[in-house]
A and B are shown apart, each in its own frame.
Chain A
Amino acid sequence: MTRSRTPTLTDSTIPDAAAPPADDWGPFTGLPGHPLMWVLIGSELLVFGAALLGLLGGRIADPVGFRLAQDHLDRLAGGVNTLVLLTSGLFVAIAVVRAKAARVAATRGWLAASAGLGLMFLAVKAVEYATEIGAGWGLDSGGFITLYFLITGFHALHVVMGLIILGIVARWPTAGNVATGAAFWHMVDLVWLLVFPVVYLVR
């Protein structure tokens, strides 16, 4: 007489009628790219939104100090970098169109062009930082300057991460991978569209 084996949690053959299909992400289904990327996008927008609210809240406490420090920022460089990121976003969006048409070489070409502009963004930011650090400012300067370095530095780290992700999806350029990588890159773009006016121009 044989005894039936007790199912275990690791038994992949056990049917689970209550479990949704693997590709059912509920309200996230149908969003471009991987649904978890949208969780990240929402989270990042909340974090940067809170940081920008904190910056303007701090300005109320010390309007003169903030104004004097903010006047030393290179606002033109910030504007140029906005145009650089928007153009980079255009190139990534075109890469998504090409990836959907299974045009691998064109997809990689547009991703590379976008990454090149991402590097240009970082180069402009590095020149800005060099000027500001040369003037004696740093992360520990306090007030506006500390918040400026934290917010723009955190954003710059996201640009670096975005460049790595673009490199990965260029290596494996399926339509889904490219759409997911593009979503991250556009999130970096979206954040800057709010950071630039609030940090550089509101005064």
Chain B
Amino acid sequence: MNPDIRRLLIVWAALSALTVTTMISGGATSPARVGALGLAVVLAAAVIKVVLVLAHYLDLRQAPGWLSGFRLATLVLAAALYGLALIG
């Protein structure tokens, strides 16, 4: 198999596993409120998924400076969202 396609398949499997983790932690099939830890897991998984898509689907691993910048921006946004979610 083409090594680039093998890498993309591994990344897709990781993204899918993180999505399932998000759905479980976020109570996708439950009406219960999500606690602070659950919210942290949900948003952390989102950040990891965004960085994986940027690095591998969008191939930003070839431009590490840009990847670092997007990673930092996503982390800042997720931290702000987490803070607002805890207040609400």
A residues near B (Cβ < 8 Å) are 30-32, 38, 45, 49, 52-53, 56-57, 59-60, 63, 66-67, 71, 75-76, 78-79, 82-83, 86-87, 89-90, 92-94, 96-97, 182-183, 186, 189-190, 193-194, 196-198, 200-203
B8 contacts A201, C-beta separation under 8 Å: no
> How far apart are A34's CB and chain B's nearest CB, in angstroms?
13
User: In the complex, A87 Cα to B11 Cα: how many Å?
Assistant: 11
Number of interface residues of B (CB under 8 A): 45
User: In the complex, A30 Cα to B67 Cα: how many Å?
Assistant: 12
Q: A189-B57, A193-B49 are known contacts. Are A53 and B63 too (CB-CB below 8 A)? A: no
> How far apart are B85's CB and chain A's nearest CB, in angstroms?
5
B54 contacts A190, C-beta separation under 8 Å: yes
Q: Classify the interface of chain A: helix, strand, loop or mixed.
A: helix
| Residues of chain A lying within 8 A (CB to CB) of residue B58 | 32, 182-183, 186
| Residues of chain A lying within 8 A (CB to CB) of residue B81 | 52-53, 56, 198, 202
User: In the complex, A79 Cα to B28 Cα: how many Å?
Assistant: 8
> How far apart are B29's CB and chain A's nearest CB, in angstroms?
6
A201 contacts B87, C-beta separation under 8 Å: no
29 pairs of residues in contact across A and B, judged by CB atoms under 8 Å? A30-B63, A32-B58, A49-B77, A52-B77, A53-B84, A59-B84, A59-B85, A60-B87, A60-B88, A63-B88, A71-B31, A75-B23, A75-B26, A76-B28, A79-B23, A79-B28, A90-B12, A93-B8, A93-B56, A194-B77, A197-B43, A201-B27, A201-B42, A202-B26, A202-B34, A202-B39, A202-B81, A203-B33, A203-B34
